[in-house]
């Protein structure tokens, strides 16, 4: 697929340019700020959709590849590319940003707020599209700045603490990634004489066992903090809790995926042997995250922190899917990244809507809301069920693929993870029960149901949650070939043969997931 239109470069430069434009608008022109910000993010969604349409399904390699020299002295090039793994993450990013702006209400007229959101969008898209390790790192780091300002400037009570903790934690972990990238490039240069940061070239680097493991750990440290993966998650409940609605939504919906994406794109491609060696460790951390997150969420009475811990559990599934090293599990992980983005975004919006009406995040202070705000309660139910992973909604498809795929290769971890599905039902239903059922404490009419504007903001998410639950085929067709390439690469390099499973019930392996 060759295309003359530079989709990917435009996807990054458009929000960045729009951020500059917004910064130049006088701050009194709130309406103009709002319009420019929203239109720009919609335009990004448009381009992402156009790229999706132009994307060739069934081809696993990179498409729309852009490659320009940037810092030739260091072998750094502006290399971008998109494959089935990044395609839907980009599309989801394009979708969530306008929704985040729409869900921000008055703040969408705050010039610096909108500018930071757009910078964040450029950073996230750059991270998903970069094929040059340093370009990836640049965007990976760059996302910290806008999120820091979003939390610090517009967050809740303890925003200074949360923003600082978030920034330092992630920046500290990035130190390892940075040195890891440089070390990998140095090793590659000493083998080939070519200094390059291009991930496609670096894939061929021969790493000794120890070097591979160390580099893998350095890379994974940064990704694990960014996701977050247990036990590197301690920043996330604070950051999710104190961030403004748009901030939490983007943190959990998009930023967390940068970490998971980094694992799939870079860890699996660059260090296949280390991945095979250390897969049990990462699988265990993922499984612990699932169960630990679910247990903490079950006792958490603050809705935002609850979603933070439930995210920890869901990201545990994604990690398990990534390190199970089977096509089905990895396909499920990629799909689950998109799914999690959709329903977590919807959950955060709903929580923000409740906060606007009640001034609290605590479920203790909510009771019987179902009678007072039935539409809101209905939407909440749908989103919650998707998050639990009820069949027919999108959460089920991803989780099922992950569990099925993991069962093929790492049976007992799949068993442990399945317990997490049950626990997810426990904490979400408890929270729902407490907040929405029972005898209402609020007088009828004292609280508004969803406004049409809030409804419109949520509508695309809810529609997609249902649609992807029933009809995930188009996604799987596009994700599949790229995932196959990644898994084949790991198997070939690590001399791993595809799993041999005798059980008749597991016919999935032959590629059922890609239908």
Contact positions vs other proteins (CB under 8 A): 71-74, 112, 134, 137-139, 141-142, 145, 148-149, 152-154, 156-161, 163-165, 167-168, 171-172, 174-176, 178-179, 182-183, 185-186
Angle among Cα 14, 18, 23 to the nearest 5 degrees reads 155
Q: Write down the least CB distance from residue 387 to other proteins, Å.
A: 28
Q: Write down the least CB distance from residue 396 to other proteins, Å.
A: 38
Of the pair 215, 464, the CB lying nearest other proteins is at 215
Q: Write down the least CB distance from residue 469 to other proteins, Å.
A: 37
Of the pair 10, 63, the CB lying nearest other proteins is at 10
**Exposed/middle/buried for 24, CB within 10 Å: 0-12, 13-18, 19+?**
exposed
Q: Write down the least CB distance from residue 139 to other proteins, Å.
A: 8
**Would you call the peptide bond into 231 cis, given omega within 30 degrees of 0 as the criterion?**
yes
> How far apart, in Å, do the first and last CA atoms of the chain sit?
22
Instruction: Produce one character per residue of 245-269: b if its CB has 16 or more CB atoms within 10 Å, e if not.
Output: bbbbbbbbbbbbbbbbbbbbbbbbb
Which residue do the tokens 């042997």 mark?
273
Q: Write down the least CB distance from residue 356 to other proteins, Å.
A: 12
Question: Which residues lie closer than 8 Å to 331 by C-beta, 6 or more apart?
Answer: 401, 405, 476, 479, 480, 483, 513, 514
Of the pair 186, 507, the CB lying nearest other proteins is at 186
Of the pair 104, 326, the CB lying nearest other proteins is at 104
Six token digits for residue 371: 């009678």
| Residues belonging to the chain | 515
Of the pair 162, 397, the CB lying nearest other proteins is at 162
In angstroms, the CA 208 to CA 245 distance is 46
Q: Write down the least CB distance from residue 494 to other proteins, Å.
A: 24
Q: Count CB neighbours of 172 within 10 A.
A: 12
Question: Which residues lie closer than 8 Å to 308 by C-beta, 6 or more apart?
Answer: 236, 237, 240, 241, 252
Identify which of 41, 49, 56, 45 has the alpha carbon closest to the alpha carbon of residue 3: 56
- 3-class DSSP state for residue 69? strand
Q: Write down the least CB distance from residue 176 to other proteins, Å.
A: 6
Of the pair 153, 368, the CB lying nearest other proteins is at 153
Of the pair 81, 244, the CB lying nearest other proteins is at 244
Q: Write down the least CB distance from residue 161 to other proteins, Å.
A: 5
Of the pair 137, 348, the CB lying nearest other proteins is at 137
Q: Write down the least CB distance from residue 450 to other proteins, Å.
A: 23
Q: Count CB neighbours of 83 within 10 A.
A: 23
Q: Count CB neighbours of 167 within 10 A.
A: 19
Of the pair 138, 447, the CB lying nearest other proteins is at 138
Six token digits for residue 191: 């083998």
Q: Write down the least CB distance from residue 142 to other proteins, Å.
A: 5
Of the pair 202, 377, the CB lying nearest other proteins is at 202
């Amino acid at each position: 697929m060759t295309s003359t239109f530079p989709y990917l470069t435009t996807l990054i430069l458009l929000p960045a340019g729009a951020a500059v434009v917004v910064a130049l608008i006088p701050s009194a022109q709130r309406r103009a700020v709002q319009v420019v910000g929203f239109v720009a993010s919609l335009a990004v969604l448009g381009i992402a959709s156009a790229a999706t349409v132009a994307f060739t399904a069934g081809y696993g390699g990179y498409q729309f590849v852009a490659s320009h020299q940037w810092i030739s002295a260091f072998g750094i090039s502006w290399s971008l590319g998109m494959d089935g793994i990044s395609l839907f993450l980009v599309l989801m990013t394009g979708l969530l940003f306008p929704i985040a702006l729409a869900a921000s209400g008055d703040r969408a007229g705050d010039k610096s707020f909108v500018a930071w959101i757009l910078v964040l969008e450029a950073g996230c898209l750059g991270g998903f599209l970069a094929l040059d390790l340093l370009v990836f790192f640049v965007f990976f780091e760059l996302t910290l700045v806008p999120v820091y300002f979003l939390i610090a400037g517009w967050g809740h009570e303890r925003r200074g603490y949360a923003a600082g903790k978030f920034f330092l934690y992630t920046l500290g972990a990035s130190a390892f990634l940075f040195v890891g990238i440089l070390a990998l490039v140095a090793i590659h240069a000493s083998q080939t004489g070519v200094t390059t940061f291009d991930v496609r070239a670096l894939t061929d680097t021969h790493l000794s066992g120890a070097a591979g493991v160390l580099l893998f750990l350095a890379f994974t440290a940064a990704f694990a903090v960014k996701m977050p993966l247990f036990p590197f998650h301690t920043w996330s409940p604070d950051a999710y809790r104190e961030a403004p609605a748009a901030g939490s939504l983007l943190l959990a919906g998009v930023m967390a995926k940068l970490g998971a994406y980094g694992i799939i794109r870079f860890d699996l491609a660059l260090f296949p042997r280390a991945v095979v060696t250390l897969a049990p460790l990462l699988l265990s951390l993922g499984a612990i995250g699932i169960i630990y997150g679910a247990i903490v969420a079950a006792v958490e009475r603050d809705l935002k922190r609850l979603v933070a811990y439930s995210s920890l559990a869901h990201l545990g599934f994604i990690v398990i899917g990534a390190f199970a090293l089977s096509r089905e599990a990895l396909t499920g992980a990629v799909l689950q990244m998109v799914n999690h983005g959709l329903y977590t975004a919807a959950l955060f919006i709903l929580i923000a809507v409740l906060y606007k009406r009640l001034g609290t995040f605590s479920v203790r202070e909510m009771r019987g809301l179902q009678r007072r705000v039935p539409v809101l309660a209905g939407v909440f139910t749908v989103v919650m069920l998707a998050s639990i992973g009820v069949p027919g909604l999108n959460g089920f498809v991803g989780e099922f693929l992950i569990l099925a795929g993991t069962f093929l290769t790492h049976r007992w971890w799949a068993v442990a993870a399945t317990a997490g599905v049950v626990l997810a039902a426990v904490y979400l239903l408890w929270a729902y029960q407490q907040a929405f059922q029972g005898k209402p404490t609020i007088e009828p009419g004292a609280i508004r149901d969803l406004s049409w504007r809030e409804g419109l903001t949520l509508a695309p998410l809810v529609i997609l949650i249902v649609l992807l639950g029933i009809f995930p085929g188009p996604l799987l067709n596009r994700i599949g070939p790229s995932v196959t390439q990644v898994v084949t690469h790991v198997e070939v390099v690590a001399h791993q043969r595809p799993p041999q499973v005798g059980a008749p019930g597991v016919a999935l392996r032959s590629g059922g997931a890609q239908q």
